[in-house]
Homo-oligomer: A and B are copies of this chain.
Amino acid sequence: MKVGIVGLGLIGGSMAIDLKRKGFAQKIVGVEADPVNASAAQKIGLVDDIVSLDECVAECDIVVLAVPVGAAVRLLSNVLDAYQAAQSEDKVVIDVCSTKEMLAESVKYHPHRKQYVATHPMAGTEYSGPWAAMPGLFDGHACIICDAQESSSNAVRKVEALYDVLNMRTIYMNSSNHDVHTAYVSHISHVTSFALALTVLEKEKDEKHIFDLASGGFSSTVRLAKSNPDMWVPILTQNKENVLHVMDTYIEKMNAFRQAIADGDEQSIRGLIEEANRIRRIIR
């Protein structure tokens, strides 16, 4: 199997490492627009070759679009067009983006739609770039496959095999539900971390104090605020309605908390904390 990875950042790079290491891919080529990242990826040995997108599509059995979702929308059409031009029916292209509906819409009527499988491996760190790539990043996490009925069963089987090699649990969902649930469980926690970092940086002018006083609790809560804007601007823009909906609920909860504290209403504060504690049953 030859695998092409477009975008050699944290996700693309980590996939390259494990797909090669575990023997799923005999050869891995990379496409990388940023020359610094391309050189780094080659130096680290993430890929066998850096090639153009055209070469990658022509050469590879599976192409992975591991780029921010705005770029993925453009590239996905290009890849399917190339499959059409080459009368290729067996090759498969996947994306790994955190929002799905706009991608799904963009190729809904493409004659080669069946060769695209929409996937979202739910793993990552707050770091980015080829130097952030690591073996085992995906182990034990969930991977969502969206709109599987829109892809050929042959394509879905190949992609399931790929994620199986990465030790991921596969979950099936349609794009629209995917975007609702990821807004609730993933996107909102990035926004709350960004807002927390902005608050602390504004209130605590002396960075030495932040450094000295930051316990493990603060560090873990603010960790996602290190996340890359190239990835997050398009996610928050594309999943706008769902993200706004969940932000509104969040702001309501903050205001309820604020009111209880302002009133010195210990019983209400306790009630809110006990309710929040229910998360213990779900998150270990």
Identify which of residues 212-229 in chain A touch chain B, using a CB-to-CB cut-off of 8 Å.
Answer: 212-227, 229
Q: Are B214 and A192 in contact (CB under 8 A)?
A: no
- The number of chain A residues with a CB under 8 A from chain B is 90
Task: Determine which of B142, B201, B266, B278 lies in contact with A201 in the assembled complex, contact meaning CB atoms within 8 Å.
Answer: B278
Q: Of the listed stretches A7-15, A56-64, A84-92, A247-255, name the one at the interface; the rest are far from the partner chain.
A: A247-255
Q: Of the listed stretches A32-40, A100-108, A182-190, name the one at the interface; the rest are far from the partner chain.
A: A182-190
A67 contacts across to B, CB distance below 8 A: none
Nearest-neighbour CB distance to chain B for A80, whole angstroms, equals 26
Q: Of the listed stretches A17-25, A46-54, A123-131, A150-158, name the one at the interface; the rest are far from the partner chain.
A: A123-131
A124 contacts across to B, CB distance below 8 A: 215-217
Q: Are A186 and B171 in contact (CB under 8 A)?
A: no
Is A282 in the interface zone, CB < 8 Å from B? Answer: yes
Nearest-neighbour CB distance to chain B for A73, whole angstroms, equals 14
Bound-complex Cα distance A124 to B215 (A): 8
Task: Determine which of B194, B213, B229 lies in contact with A122 in the assembled complex, contact meaning CB atoms within 8 Å.
Answer: B213
Task: Determine which of B229, B249, B274, B282 lies in contact with A199 in the assembled complex, contact meaning CB atoms within 8 Å.
Answer: B249
Bound-complex Cα distance A248 to B124 (A): 31
Nearest-neighbour CB distance to chain B for A118, whole angstroms, equals 15
- One complex includes copies of this chain to the number of 2
Q: Are B251 and A197 in contact (CB under 8 A)?
A: no
Is A258 in the interface zone, CB < 8 Å from B? Answer: yes
Is A280 in the interface zone, CB < 8 Å from B? Answer: yes
Q: Are A201 and B254 in contact (CB under 8 A)?
A: no
Is A236 in the interface zone, CB < 8 Å from B? Answer: yes
Q: Are B217 and A279 in contact (CB under 8 A)?
A: no
A258-B266 contact given A200-B185, A216-B124, A279-B201, CB 8 Å threshold: no
A203 contacts across to B, CB distance below 8 A: 184, 245-246, 249
Q: Are A222 and B270 in contact (CB under 8 A)?
A: no
Q: Are B282 and A210 in contact (CB under 8 A)?
A: yes
Is A198 in the interface zone, CB < 8 Å from B? Answer: yes
Is A43 in the interface zone, CB < 8 Å from B? Answer: no
Bound-complex Cα distance A184 to B208 (A): 13
Q: Are A283 and B229 in contact (CB under 8 A)?
A: no
Give residues in A with beta carbon < 8 Å to B. Answer: 122-126, 141-142, 144, 169, 171, 181-182, 184-186, 188-204, 207, 209-227, 229, 232-233, 236-237, 240, 243-251, 253-255, 257-258, 261-262, 264, 266, 269-270, 272-283
